Amino acid sequence: MLKLFVKSSERLGLPPGTPIHTGKRLTDATAIAVMDYNEEILEERTVDTVEEVCRYRDTPTVTWINVNGIHDVEKIETICSRFDIHPLVLEDIVNTAQRPKMELYDNGLFLIAKMIYYNDNQELIVEQVSFVVQDRCLLSFQEQPGDIFETVRNRIRQKRGRIRRLGADYLIYSLIDAIVDHYFVLLEDLQEQIERFEEEISVDTKPVTLTRIHNIKKEMVYLRKSIWPLREIIMRLEREDTKVIGETVTLFFRDLYDHTVQVIEAIETFHEILSGVQDLYLSFVSNRMNEVMKALTVIATIFIPLTFIAGLYGMNFKYMPELEVPWAYPVLLAFMAAVGLAMVIFFRRKKWL
């Protein structure tokens, strides 16, 4: 079962703002990757200490600081204090059980989103990504290194599109866009699974199908929970005067909003269709069962009266005149065949067979 929340007993009684890492430790060390760029120059490197990161903070270029691994709470805490990030934000970054949310602080914008994908074992992974935008500087916190953001990195490296010409607001748009684009990959996968179910159940009805439908339904519940709040966040980013998102980029967020709505609609459509498939499955199961039972019962019903007749002439009464007649046996056999045939014809006509 997917864990929706991990906030738990260990947190009980701690004062608010205490950063406690929750969730599995998905990577070994916390790695910090910095991309510092403007239209002309691009500096890309991996830094080891928090001090090095701060060097990029006040440059006039756009700086993207990507932190992989959030279990090293102390390191995260140091970064946050250097960047004047509120303790409650820090708490949210390391607690992976957050809902997607956006908060506006005096010195910037804080946003939590969920990356969702199937891992190599076909398990649905929900990973939390936190963003902090301050002027020309964007910090992103991932639970583990992943390749979802790689396409954005490549666009920066190869100067494709507008990304090098625009600021941190376009960068955060590009990153969220990358996340939402991956939802579509997931939807394709779901669609294929549903299509496969539809084909399967018209051929055979295995009980395991039900469990798999149940599991996909559960996955969709989690998907919806993770994506629904994102829609409102993007709408707020587009509409509210956040001071962080420039007017040029607003248009792109409107486009992104459309995509999110598409994802949500698709999930709801799938949910509805899946319920239909489940009903269909149950009807098919019951149909087949009925067919079997009917056929078998018909066979039994044909032979039971015949057996009775046979039993009749197996009785040992002394005076049973029929038993003496030479042609009685063949006549009885013929009679039995006739009865059997009549019943088959009757059942056929009644559409029972």
Residues 60-89 contacting a second copy, CB under 8 A: 88
Residue of 202, 248, 335, 342 interacting with a second copy (CB under 8 A): 202
Q: Which is nearer to a second copy, 69 or 130 (CB)?
A: 130
Residue of 40, 120, 121, 315 interacting with a second copy (CB under 8 A): 315
x/- string (CB under 8 A) for a second copy, residues 321-350? -xxxxxxxx--x-----------------x
**Within a 10 A sphere around the Cβ of 193, how many other Cβ atoms?**
16
Mind giving me the DSSP string for 171-237? HHHHHHHHHHHHHHHHHHHHHHHHHHHHHHHHH---HHHHHHHHHHHHHHHHHHHHHHHHHHHHHHH
Shortest CB 31 distance to a second copy, Å: 22
Q: Which is nearer to a second copy, 57 or 101 (CB)?
A: 101
Mind giving me the DSSP string for 226-282? HHHHHHHHHHHHHHS--SSS-HHHHHHHHHHHHHHHHHHHHHHHHHHHHHHHHHHHH
Task: Determine, following the binding rule CB under 8 A, whether residue 297 of this chain makes contact with a second copy.
Answer: yes
Q: Which is nearer to a second copy, 34 or 194 (CB)?
A: 194
Task: Determine, following the binding rule CB under 8 A, whether residue 236 of this chain makes contact with a second copy.
Answer: no
Q: What are phi and psi of 65, to 5 degrees?
A: -105, 110
Residue of 24, 283, 334, 335 interacting with a second copy (CB under 8 A): 283
Range in contact with a second copy (rule: CB under 8 A) among 23-31, 46-54, 188-196, 234-242: 188-196
Q: One-letter amino acid identity for 7?
A: K
Rounded CA separation 83/85 (Å): 5
Shortest CB 286 distance to a second copy, Å: 8
Q: Which is nearer to a second copy, 73 or 88 (CB)?
A: 88
Q: Which is nearer to a second copy, 16 or 60 (CB)?
A: 16
Rounded CA separation 77/328 (Å): 103
CA distances from 164 to 168, 280, 307 (A): 10, 52, 90
Task: Determine, following the binding rule CB under 8 A, whether residue 239 of this chain makes contact with a second copy.
Answer: no
Rounded CA separation 349/353 (Å): 8
Element (H, E) at 300: helix 247-312
Q: Which is nearer to a second copy, 9 or 60 (CB)?
A: 9
Range in contact with a second copy (rule: CB under 8 A) among 53-61, 71-79, 233-241, 317-325: 317-325
**Within a 10 A sphere around the Cβ of 249, how many other Cβ atoms?**
23
Range in contact with a second copy (rule: CB under 8 A) among 36-44, 69-77, 126-134, 266-274: 266-274
